[in-house]
Structure 1
Amino acid sequence: MVAQAPTPVTQWGMPTAGPFRWTRPTTWPREALALAGYWAASRLVMIGMLRSGKAEQAIEVHRTYFGWYEVLRHGHFPVGDVTWQYPPGAALAMLAPGLLPFLTYLQAFAVLMLVTDAITQAALVRVSLRRNGGVHRGRSTAGAWMWALSMPLLLGMPFGRYDLPVTALAMAALLLMPSRPRVGGALAGIGAMVKVWPALVVLGAPRGRGTRQAWTSMCVSAAVLLVVLATVFDGALDFLTAQRGRGVEIESLGGSMLQVARELGWPGEVEMHYGSLEFLGPHVDLIARVSLLLTAVAFGWLLLWRFRARRWTPALPYDAALTAVLLFTVTSRVISPQYLIWLIGLASVCLTVRGTSQRPVAVVVLLTAAVTTIDYPLFFDAMIKGGWQPALVIVTRNGLLLSASLWSAARLWRASVSPLPALQEAPQTRRGPIRVA
């Protein structure tokens, strides 16, 4: 018998040749098998955190989401409920568990979040690996690992909030935009009608026909969905004025300053206000106005970057989306723990491309997610009452978030606006485009 040569493998232990079919796990490369195994084990633990129904996330789904579901299925938005401050597309997420009538609302909600998580994980693997098991030129599996490893850091919260499908829509829009700008833009528009921020993911699309197609498609899809929902439901446009009375939430950047001020003698208090725990007292209105001003400044900086950008690499649209959402998150009057799901998703998309400028920023996002879990749920009750320990936790979390935002903006500017040395420009112009799966 003639001995057969061993199948060549990559440095990751993945075969460089041979069949690779998603429907046959026995043909999957080793890294895909490792990702699948870790994902299944970690998500089983996350589901277990909700199964008892005693976790705060489960109570929120039981009480708040199910209450909205009962109102929405009768054709009305919960207009009189101050906690409803979302675009009309959020109704789709609240009504979706009704598609599984054989389960309780909580069970159906968790199942849908688990399926969304699985599809997102598979998509990140798919854009990185070729059908023969190798890695696409210029691509990386680091994004798939980022998503798999980061979600469990938030414990059961990703399956107890509807931010997961919104993030999945934004990620799909980014991944599809290079090859299918109309489809990517449409997904971004749908996401914007569910929770506004996915509209930012089209900001970094390179100038030209593809950008016009993506932006137009986003506006059209958002407008069509808005018209449909306004026709089917009463009170669909009330969300436009729902947040004007918001103050400074205790976990926001301004809130962390007030946490420290309270320990130094500031006489403010924490109360439930407009559906969240906010600080009430002297100078709170000033801090809220400063937050809005900083958001406007961030938007102005992003417009300046868009005008000044000269170099569009395959990674730049992904990097710009992460920078934009980071800036709008850190300057917001409200920073809820589930916002980390957005940042993890966008950082994961950035890491699918080897040339991303946001690799170290993604590490900071990972650390921020870990500290966020210490903040919520571990120190959340103590934060309401006050104390130096919870104050230091939230200051650390928001300090990491602020550092990530500024670092992300600086690296984005350096990668696309700042002039490069002559020795670096020549290879840049000869580099071919990355094939998108």
Structure 2
Amino acid sequence: MSVLRNHRPLALAAVWLATRALMLWLLAHDDLRLLGRGGVSREVGHLYFRWYGVLSQGAFPANDRLWQYPPGAGPVLLAPALLPWLTYVTAFVALTLVADLVITVALTRAGRRAGRSLRGALLWVLGLPLLLHIPLARYDVQVTAFAVLSLLALSRSARAGGVFAALGALVKVWPALALIGTPRGRTTREAWTSAVAAAAALLAVLVAAFSNSFDFLRQQGGRGVQIESLGGTVLGFARHAGWPGTARYQYGAMEFVGPYVSSVAAGSLALTVAAFGILLLWRVRARHWTAATPFDAALAAVLLFTVTSRVISPQYMVWLLGLAAVCLTSRHTTQRPVAALIVAATAVSTVVYPAMYGEVIHSTWTGCLLMLVRNGLLAAAAGLSLVRLWRSGLPPTTAGRIPQRRTRGTRRVLAGIRTGH
């Protein structure tokens, strides 16, 4: 058995090398029609590189409708300067692969501990390539690395977990949700205290080093309903019922414009607020924690916020794959069927973008049905994740059992048993 355990990491390493080589090949042939005709790599080669030029001058992009990211995104986009002998795109991809490898190693080490599983590492290694070359041309792998390291560090050092979550939250806000399931008491206090302190310190440094640090807030508020969101799926079908709206590129994504779009956006925001309220209610009422509860809660929270968002870009699946992989490192997780739904949704996402994105833009029946399947899988995953998380928070003596009201006769019998009569 020990020989088998020693060979599993080697097999994972071989699979990682093979799949990442395939992803690099796809990125090199990005101009093929089914791979998006260069659209995937254009974001890092043009948009990120343009922002890199602005950031190099000590300022965040100002009055740029496409800049919608917290200040921590700046250092990530400047990081390719650490490899000056490479072009910007090549250096960015190389650093993304490093972040990917960090996640793989962290999941593998966690999976080899007593009572843990390598299923998480396997899901990450095999699941990420389902998105083809998209993860290599976005910085979501780097963000996911912060969230993964935060969750895996919590059991050994709550303070370290808090610091990693804070760093990720300053790049893209969602990694802050990694701390929503920390056990009550000292662990929660230490994790959140260190997170706030780390975030404040790094934010102070960034504000001192760069101008226009908070300009992103103005751009974020103007976002509409992306065609790939849950609300966008509703509007896509509405076009077949006579709705006169159309899709237009704005704020860095294809969004619907037309009557009632603002109402759909407001509805999405209301659902997000409701989801946050449900998560808070779970935390207040939960009475039972396992080693996997912080992992499961983080996945449930990010799923709920993703499904209710006005934007569900394909790279968001990177986040969900990373969190699902963390859950599967624990044998106590309740999220195994949720992870399967996420993998299925990831596979459909690749068909949506880049392969058949034109169908989605024009809201053809094929495009609408693809979005219905993808978002239906995500909605099912979010609902199932929340239900299983909620049930796992019940005390072991009451979980899965409906309390029954005792009659007066029952109470007398029980009293007699206790007194020996």
TM-score past 0.5 threshold: yes
- The correspondence for 1:318, drawn from 273, 276, 295, is 295
1:246-266 residue CA offsets vs partner (Å, 9 max, x unmatched): 111100000001111112221
Question: Partners in 1 of 2:398 and 2:362 — Cα distance?
Answer: 54
Equivalent in the alignment of 1:18: none
Question: Is 1:280 the equivalent of 2:263?
Answer: no
1:87 match: secondary structure: coil
Question: Is 1:73 the equivalent of 2:50?
Answer: no
1:30 match: secondary structure: helix
AA aligned to 1:398 is N
Question: Partners in 2 of 1:421 and 1:205 — Cα distance?
Answer: 22
Would the aligned equivalents of 1:142 and 1:351 in 2 still touch at CA under 8 Å? yes
Offset at 1:122? 1.1
- The correspondence for 1:178, drawn from 155, 175, 181, is 155
1:270 match: secondary structure: strand
Equivalent in the alignment of 1:113: 96
Question: Is 1:127 the equivalent of 2:106?
Answer: no
AA aligned to 1:350 is C
- The correspondence for 2:213, drawn from 212, 219, 236, is 236
Question: Partners in 1 of 2:196 and 2:322 — Cα distance?
Answer: 23
AA aligned to 1:327 is L
- 1:189-200 counterparts in 2 under 5 A? 189-200=166-177
Equivalent in the alignment of 1:63: 46
Offset at 1:56? 2.1
2:4 match: secondary structure: coil
Question: Partners in 2 of 1:206 and 1:77 — Cα distance?
Answer: 37
2:67 match: secondary structure: coil
Would the aligned equivalents of 1:305 and 1:417 in 2 still touch at CA under 8 Å? no
Offset at 1:241? 2.8
Equivalent in the alignment of 1:353: 330
Change beyond 3 A, Cα 1:205–1:36: same
Question: Is 1:262 the equivalent of 2:228?
Answer: no
Question: Partners in 2 of 1:417 and 1:283 — Cα distance?
Answer: 41
Equivalent in the alignment of 2:226: 249
Change beyond 3 A, Cα 1:321–1:112: same
1:242 match: secondary structure: helix
- The correspondence for 1:96, drawn from 79, 96, 114, is 79
AA aligned to 1:392 is L
Bigger drift between 415-424 and 225-234 goes to: 415-424
- Structure with more of its chain in helix, by fraction: 2
Equivalent in the alignment of 2:283: 306
Would the aligned equivalents of 2:63 and 2:215 in 1 still touch at CA under 8 Å? no
Equivalent in the alignment of 1:49: 26
Offset at 1:232? 0.5
AA aligned to 1:184 is G
Question: Partners in 2 of 1:137 and 1:373 — Cα distance?
Answer: 36
Equivalent in the alignment of 2:4: 14
Equivalent in the alignment of 2:320: 343
1:94-148 residue CA offsets vs partner (Å, 9 max, x unmatched): 100111111111100110011111121111111122xxxxxx3320110010001
Question: Partners in 1 of 2:399 and 2:168 — Cα distance?
Answer: 41
Would the aligned equivalents of 1:153 and 1:369 in 2 still touch at CA under 8 Å? yes
Question: Partners in 2 of 1:184 and 1:110 — Cα distance?
Answer: 26
AA aligned to 2:173 is V
Equivalent in the alignment of 2:369: 392
Question: Partners in 1 of 2:104 and 2:239 — Cα distance?
Answer: 42
Taking structure 2 as the reference length, what is the TM-score of the superposition? 0.91
Would the aligned equivalents of 2:58 and 2:209 in 1 still touch at CA under 8 Å? yes
Change beyond 3 A, Cα 1:422–1:325: closer
Offset at 1:358? 0.3
Question: Is 1:289 the equivalent of 2:279?
Answer: no
Equivalent in the alignment of 1:165: 142
- The correspondence for 1:367, drawn from 344, 348, 362, is 344
AA aligned to 1:175 is L
Equivalent in the alignment of 2:410: none
Bigger drift between 379-388 and 359-368 goes to: 379-388
- The correspondence for 2:17, drawn from 40, 47, 58, is 40
Would the aligned equivalents of 1:312 and 1:416 in 2 still touch at CA under 8 Å? yes
Offset at 1:386? 2.5
Question: Partners in 2 of 1:300 and 1:320 — Cα distance?
Answer: 14
AA aligned to 1:113 is T
Would the aligned equivalents of 2:66 and 2:252 in 1 still touch at CA under 8 Å? yes
Offset at 1:211? 1.0
Question: Partners in 1 of 2:220 and 2:389 — Cα distance?
Answer: 31
AA aligned to 1:311 is H
1:266 match: secondary structure: coil
Would the aligned equivalents of 1:256 and 1:394 in 2 still touch at CA under 8 Å? yes
Offset at 1:179? 0.9
1:311 match: secondary structure: coil
Aligned Cα RMSD in Å? 1.5
Question: Partners in 2 of 1:422 and 1:102 — Cα distance?
Answer: 59
Offset at 1:238? 1.6
Question: Partners in 2 of 1:376 and 1:64 — Cα distance?
Answer: 19
Offset at 1:422? 8.5
Question: Partners in 1 of 2:250 and 2:107 — Cα distance?
Answer: 39
AA aligned to 2:264 is I
Would the aligned equivalents of 2:60 and 2:210 in 1 still touch at CA under 8 Å? yes
**Alignment length (residue pairs):** 395
Bigger drift between 50-59 and 296-305 goes to: 50-59
2:220 match: secondary structure: coil
Would the aligned equivalents of 1:53 and 1:59 in 2 still touch at CA under 8 Å? no
Question: Partners in 2 of 1:422 and 1:386 — Cα distance?
Answer: 45
Question: Partners in 2 of 1:411 and 1:289 — Cα distance?
Answer: 28
Offset at 1:230? 0.7
Would the aligned equivalents of 1:97 and 1:109 in 2 still touch at CA under 8 Å? yes
- 1:398-437 counterparts in 2 under 5 A? 398-417=375-394, 420-421=397-398
AA aligned to 2:62 is V
1:218-254 residue CA offsets vs partner (Å, 9 max, x unmatched): 1111111111111110100122332111111100000
